[in-house]
Structure 1
Amino acid sequence: MTSNSVYIGVDLAWGDKNLSGFCVLVPYKNSLKIIDIKLLKSIDDIVYEIQKYHEYKVYIGLDAPLLVPNKDGNRECEKLFNKDFAKYKISMLPVNRTILTKYNSNIRSEVLYKRLIEDGYKRDYNSDKVIYEVYPHSTIAMLFNNHKILPYKRKKGRDVGFVREQIDIYKKYLAKVVSPHKILKSDVATLRGQGLKDFEDILDSITCAYTIHFCQNNEARFYKVDDEDIFVTPISPWKVYVLKCADETLYTGVTTHLKRRVNEHNTSNVGAKYTRNRRPVELIYFENCDDKVEAMKREYAIKQLSRKEKLKLVDV
């Protein structure tokens, strides 16, 4: 490997009898490359595979709860996530000790997390050993499926043919961001029963690894447990923003990269014509938007406000 960073995705099974998806990605040219992908059974197996990369910066995305402080109901991080993503009809199922201990007397994800803490893993992107919870459904929706849930999970009312179709769509989404690999060329039509479930878990492990990579340098939202970030998910990069110019006038625009765009307004001809003769400009306000259309509509609405109304909006 030429990169000093690896991105590991674990789609952790809740019970000891089931297999967990495990994937390792590394940066490769302008993409990501799968260097290992498999199904693993025990926590020991997972820890062993992770420890192979002890000489690298390791970023782990785990589709399972790292900490479960609540006996019943939802954790606070899930309540906040469900509130934020309700407009997309995306929600997480309740995570609590009552539910999870039905599968195992010890909650497997907590056991794994404690083992990894001993190896130096932290919920902090500034660490060389990073771990966060991730959620494949929100990643797929926000990055690939037009902010909608992809219904690839088997459940009542979904026959095998329908699930295969959705998993094939899922596979093609991942093929857009990961270099060619035989897993992503598999014929889903031949899969059924446990084989189809295993393939789903493998795809989820790729998504977990991709999520932890994407959120490192792109738009993401973090949620906390015990006052420390624990869960991360991609969000739409579109923003509407307001700048205060050197002459005290206000400028409103849209962007997918706020820091870069403000820098362009201040330093290059790529910035708006209006701001070139009014430098330096200062970012005083921004809003997240679902997509480009919403951002442009919101930009228009803000531009129709009076100066007094704009200042009230940005609370300057």
Structure 2
Amino acid sequence: MKKHFDHFCGIDPSWTGKRPTAVSVLDRRFRLIDFVYSEDIEWIVQLLRNYENTVIGVDAPLVIRNETGHRPNEKEFIKHFAKFGLSLYPVNKRRYPFFFPEKLYEALKTIGYSFQNGNIFEVYPHATILVLFNDMKVFHYKKLRSEEKLEKLEYLRKKIETFIEIPDDLNVPQDSVKSYEDFLDSLVCALTVGLASERSFLKFGSEDMGIMLVLKP
């Protein structure tokens, strides 16, 4: 991964395409400069057209060729992170005959983003949070009641803000706990690829099968 990107983008996509996808863009100072929350792929692609020399981190598989079980990069990841209690949900063709992030990846390739070009990666917010914010322990915040989840999300936001400046005047979704969670996850995705430009990281997978980028513990 090259060291001199001008922007860092994080995408937390809907897996079905039936819900909005959260997209955050940071500048080199890790200041949040743009955000969209949309189901429209063209809107997402248009946003990225506005920012040259950008690297993207996506919280989802972008290439699925296995019929069952885990993908090869998922298996590699689990070998390294299972000791910390961190695993991955298996993604395959049988479970997901249609998978929105694959469609999004194909659209992003038309404007120059690909594993081959080294400017887009699969990332895993749970791994980043474990490494950066939670003393190498899994931070459980997904499967909670709304009130408990909101408390966890507020804690997570404070941790994120030790790295990222979130302008007060930027309109971010807080109309539901789910939209707020998607926003914060997109920030963690952007932070992952941003920090990978200045510190050690691990990569799992291949250009053909998908490359997952994880900050090194």
Does residue 131 of the first structure (1) align with residue 131 of the second (2)? no
Contact 2:26–2:33 (Cα < 8 Å) also in 1: yes
CA deviations over 1:104-157 (Å, ceiling 9, x no partner)? x3x222222122222222325xx5x7100001000011011111121111x2xx
Distance 1:4 1:80, change over 3 A: closer
- How large is the RMSD of aligned CA atoms in angstroms? 2.2
Q: Which runs of 5+ in 1 are unaligned?
A: 237-316
Distance apart, 1:16 and its partner CA: 2.2
Q: Which amino acid aligns with 1:108?
A: F
Instruction: Report the secondary structure of 1:70's partner residue.
Output: coil
> Could you list the runs of 4 or more consecutive aligned residues of structure 1 that deviate by over 4 angstroms after TM superposition?
226-229
Distance apart, 1:226 and its partner CA: 5.7
Of residues 59, 65, 77, the one that matches 1:63 is 59
CA deviations over 1:176-210 (Å, ceiling 9, x no partner)? 001243389x9xxxx6xx70000000000111111
Of residues 141, 154, 158, the one that matches 1:152 is 141
Q: Percent identity?
A: 32
Contact 1:151–1:163 (Cα < 8 Å) also in 2: no
Q: TM-score, normalised by structure 1?
A: 0.62
Rounded to whole Å, the distance in 1 between the matches of 2:95 and 2:43 is 24
Q: Which amino acid aligns with 1:232?
A: L
Q: Which runs of 5+ in 2 are unaligned?
A: none
Between the two proteins, the alignment pairs up a number of residues equal to: 212
Rounded to whole Å, the distance in 2 between the matches of 1:183 and 1:138 is 30
Instruction: Report the secondary structure of 1:86's partner residue.
Output: helix
Residue in 2 aligned with 1:260?
none
Instruction: Report the secondary structure of 1:109's partner residue.
Output: helix
Residue in 2 aligned with 1:166?
152
Of residues 154, 157, 161, the one that matches 1:175 is 161
CA deviations over 1:252-283 (Å, ceiling 9, x no partner)? xxxxxxxxxxxxxxxxxxxxxxxxxxxxxxxx
Q: Which amino acid aligns with 1:59?
A: V
Q: Which amino acid aligns with 1:137?
A: H
Distance apart, 1:99 and its partner CA: 1.6
Give the alignment of 1:170-209 within 5 angstroms.
170-182=156-168, 195-209=176-190
| Rg (Cα) greater in structure | 1
**Using CA pairs below 8 Å that are at least 6 residues apart, which structure has the higher relative contact order?**
2
